[in-house]
Amino acid sequence: MRQSIRHLSILVVDDHRFMQQLMRAMLTGLGVRTVVPALTVDEGLRLLTAQKFDIVIADYLMGGPSGAEFMRLARSEHFAGDRFVPIIACTADTTPRTVAALRDAGADEILCKPVSAHMLWNRLAAVVNSRRRFVKTPKFFGPDRRRRAMEVKDSVERRTRKTEHAQPSYLKVLSKP
C-alpha cells in the first residue's frame, strides 16, 4: 500500500481548520499527495459530487449538520456523487451510542481522537485492503455492519477453541509507516 497511497485523493470534512491541518500533515507524512479540506457538510457534499475522491474522512461533531448526517446524505439514493466512497468517521466521542450512530449512518471505519499516524494508517489500510461489502435494505445503505461472516455449524461454543494471534490480513500487505 505504501506505493499506492501517494495516488489517493482524500477529502477531509471538518469544521476546525486546526484539525484539517493536522490531518493533512499526517496524511502527507504517510505519503498521500492529494488532501482536500471542506469546512461544512454542504461544502463536503458539493466537493464529493464535483470530483472523485478515493476516501473521505469526516468529523462527527461539527457546527450545523453532523458527520453522521453527512454520511447519511452521501449514502442516500438521491446523492449525485459516489455513494460507495469509503468514509472514515473521526470522533472523540467513542460511546457505544455514537459508534452505533456512525456505523448506522454508513461509516466504513471509525477513527478515535486523539488521532495518531499509526491509527490513521490502520484505518486507511482497512478501507483500501479489506473493505466490507455494501448492503442495501429499506432503511440502510452502506458497508456491512458485521465485521465478518458468522459460521455456525453446530452448537459448540466458539470461544472454547484456542486461536493463534495472527496478524490482520492488511498487515501482510503493508509495512509500518
User: For 29-44, how does the pLDDT look when each residue is reduced to its tens digit (9 = 90+)?
Assistant: 999 999 999 999 999 9
Flag whether 150 is in a domain: no
CA angle 106, 112, 115 (to 5 degrees): 125
pLDDT tens per residue, range 115-171 = 999 999 999 999 988 887 888 888 887 887 765 554 444 444 444 444 444 433 433
pTM: 0.79
Flag whether 101 is in a domain: yes
CATH of residue 42: 3.40.50.2300
Flag whether 153 is in a domain: no
Flag whether 151 is in a domain: no
Flag whether 107 is in a domain: yes
10 Å Cβ neighbour count for 3?
Answer: 8
Flag whether 158 is in a domain: no
Domain that holds residue 124: 2-145+163-173
Return the amino acid letter for 135: V
Return the amino acid letter for 159: R
More confident residue, 148 or 75: 75
Buried b or exposed e, range 83-117, using 16+ CB within 10 angstroms: bebbbbbbbeeeeeebbebbbebbbbbbbeeebee
Flag whether 152 is in a domain: no
- Structural domain total, the chain: 1
